[in-house]
Amino acid sequence: MKKDLVSMSDLTKEEIIEIVNLGIDMKNNRDKYCSSFKNKILAMIFAKSSTRTRLSFETAMLTSGGNAIFLNTNDIQLGRGEGISDTAKVLSRYIDAIMIRTYKHKDVQELALHSDVPVINALTDDEHPCQILADLMTIYEHKKSFDLKIAYFGDGNNVAASLAIAADILGIECAIASPNNYMVDEFIRNKTKSVIYTDDVEKAAKNASVVYTDTWISMGEEDQYEKKLKYFADYQVNKKLTSLCKDDYIFLHCLPAYRGKEVTEDIIDGQHSVIFDEAENRMHAQKALLYKLLLI
């Protein structure tokens, strides 16, 4: 039976751990998997541009013997008014999996509903599950455990939502600190009762082993720049904040980062930062996800 990754909640605890462990094995034993995706083709639909998403998915396919086809929505009929259901049915006749990075979460849900091949959410306004799989892999690489506390600071956006869902599934202690009017969507908060949602940054930071933030201004929100800076000034990750964390904490950021805004340069470029391991792990975690969806 076809399986999709539209939401982080589509995965069980066992499946998340399986993908994390497989991603680490694929990273450490690359030759072992160099022909895993032979004759497999991934269609990559982009309504939102990206550096890491395109490179990580395309490289994951090519280094495993498969192929990837880039489809900008402006260059295909979907961008000219063709229905999502028709697009899904046509693509299913040509390729083995579909990755989509877009705005509306419901568009990915509809694509998955009508597709005969696996559909992967590579980002919507609601969730970013592929990023969180890479984050979890990075945490496990450095900490060898999920028995720890993650503290997230800033906008309760798609990354925060998928992080909350994953933490709830895995039983990870997680605190998400955001201004009251920028917290994770109420629907997600109600689903993730084990996660702490707070506007108190000190409460969130205390004894954290993982410190995480994201840009305050997501793509398409440029007109909210000045307004958001006012609300988020107290949520910056800096030395004062991290002094409340574990001495051996690691710092995560899904990138792109704006140094001096959501995080100071001494933190993001300091000894606790593992952001480039995290960025690299997008490729390995997604390769493991593709392996599970295509081959297991």
Q: Domains in the chain, please, with CATH?
A: 8-127+281-295 (3.40.50.1370), 131-278 (3.40.50.1370)
Backbone angles phi, psi at 294, to 5 degrees: -95, -30
Q: Which of 101, 105, 272, 284 is catalytic?
A: 101
Contacts of residue 58, Cβ cutoff 8 Å, sequence gap at least 6: 44, 68, 70
47-105 pLDDT tens trace: 998 999 999 999 999 999 999 999 998 888 886 778 999 999 999 999 999 999 999 99
- Give me the count of residues in the chain: 296
Q: Considering 52, 131, 253, 286, which one is annotated as catalytic?
A: 131
CA distance 293 to 96: 10
Q: Tell me which H or E stretch contains 249.
A: none
- Asked if residue 219 has pLDDT above 70, the reply is no
Catalytic-labelled residue, pool 254, 272, 284, 286: 254
214 carries an active-site annotation:
yes
**131 in active site:** yes
Q: For this structure, is 254 an active site residue?
A: yes
193, with CB counted inside 10 A (0-12, 13-18, 19+), is exposed
So what's the pLDDT on residue 79?
65
User: Using 50, 70 and 90 to split pLDDT, how confident is the model at 224?
Assistant: confident
Where does residue 145 fall: left (phi above 0), alpha (psi -120 to 50 degrees), or beta otherwise?
beta
Residue 49, pLDDT score: 86
Q: State the alpha helices, DSSP H only, in 95-224.
A: 105-114, 129-143, 158-170, 186-191, 201-205
Q: Report whether the peptide linkage leading into residue 256 is cis, meaning its omega lies within 30 degrees of zero.
A: yes
Model confidence at 165, pLDDT cuts 50, 70, 90, reads: very high
Considering 52, 128, 253, 272, which one is annotated as catalytic?
128
Q: Are 197 and 186 in contact (CB under 8 A)?
A: no
Give per-residue burial for 143-158: e unless 16+ CB within 10 Å, then b: beebebbbbbbbbbbb
pLDDT tens digits, one per residue of 168-180: 999 999 999 999 9
| Cβ–Cβ < 8 Å for 255, 279 | yes
SS3 172: coil
Q: Taking all residues of the chain, what is their mean pLDDT, rounded to a whole number?
A: 96
Indicate which residue of 135, 214, 236, 272 is catalytic.
214
In the residue annotation, 107 being an active-site residue is answered as no
pLDDT at 220 over 90: no
Structural tokens at position 89 = 């049915």
Identify the active-site residue in 253, 272, 282, 284: 282
pLDDT of residue 77: 80
What is the reported pLDDT for 104?
Answer: 96
What is the tens place of the pLDDT at every residue in 110-156?
A: 999 999 999 999 999 999 999 999 999 999 999 999 999 999 999 99
